[in-house]
Amino acid sequence: MNHRFLFFTQRVLALTLTLALCAWAYPARPSNSQIYDDNHLLNASETKLFNELAHKLNQRTGIELTCVLLNDIGHQNDKIDEYAQKTAEEWQVGKASGEGLMIFVAQKQHWKKILLTPAAEKFFSEKDLAKIQQKTILPAFREYNYNEGILSLSYNLASHLAKAKKVKLGIDEAPYKLSENSVSSLMILFILFVFFLTLMAKFSGGRGNGILWFLFGGAIKNKKKDEPEIGFAGGFGSTAKGFGGGFGGGLGGGFSSGIGGRSSFGRMGSFGKRDDLW
């Protein structure tokens, strides 16, 4: 009886250890691709497009572009930032040149992040990342066009890096552009709403102008020149500086890059208040 109990206890402990290890297992880097797509958000031809872009960027600039798309990160929600950073570290992103970046998405958690090596971080400002996200991944993801969001984001990041390096990618932009379907339906409703208010202002003897000024006047008056709109706090929120649809704290909470004692990760400032959700 004691032997059976001991055997059972050993099996339970072994199973518990296995589950614990699996819980923190990081996605293995594919041998022939720069993208790990757990949920098959991109089809075969789109995956090829991403790899062609990553190859061309690395060939022209020496910068490595990678992408990890996970369906569910499991019960590690409170450590998801650490998980993303450790994944990039395990992949040794940017090892060859010290310059690299990773797009990381956990779809079920509606969480995403851009991780940058310190050597690549210098090519982006907060405004740069805000503008790139607003015209690519944010409108696409909110319309469930995940494939278009990833491709458009990756192309715009690569183009920005190529411009910073003063080279041309030499790759057709068309397959990476968002389709018209990726224009948010909320934006269409907003335009119609503004049109309606404009008609009110025209046919109500000027009283509609007061409504327009009440809604938009303060925002127009207080907005600084060339300041990007970094709204969407908490995913869809309302404050102009929250930007919950962004990527991780700082410039993605980037990592210390490739080789020569620069393989550990570290925080890099604060980019918005919640740069994680879409």
Quote the CA–CA distance of 66 and 271 in Å, as a whole number: 21
What CATH number should be reported for the domain holding residue 104?
3.10.310.50
Query: Which pLDDT does position 253 carry in this prediction?
Result: 41
For residue range 198-211, list pLDDT tens digits in order.
666 666 655 555 55
Quote the CA–CA distance of 57 and 102 in Å, as a whole number: 13
Whether 168 maps to a domain, the answer reads yes
Quote the CA–CA distance of 81 and 204 in Å, as a whole number: 53
Whether 170 maps to a domain, the answer reads yes
Whether 122 maps to a domain, the answer reads yes
pTM of the full structure: 0.65
Whether 87 maps to a domain, the answer reads yes
Question: What's the total number of domains in the chain?
Answer: 1
Query: Exposed (0-12), middle (13-18) or buried (19+): which is 162, by Cβ within 10 Å?
Result: buried
Whether 5 maps to a domain, the answer reads no
Whether 199 maps to a domain, the answer reads no
Whether 266 maps to a domain, the answer reads no
Whether 206 maps to a domain, the answer reads no
Domain range enclosing 76: 31-183+223-252
Confidence of residue 126 (pLDDT cuts 50, 70, 90): confident
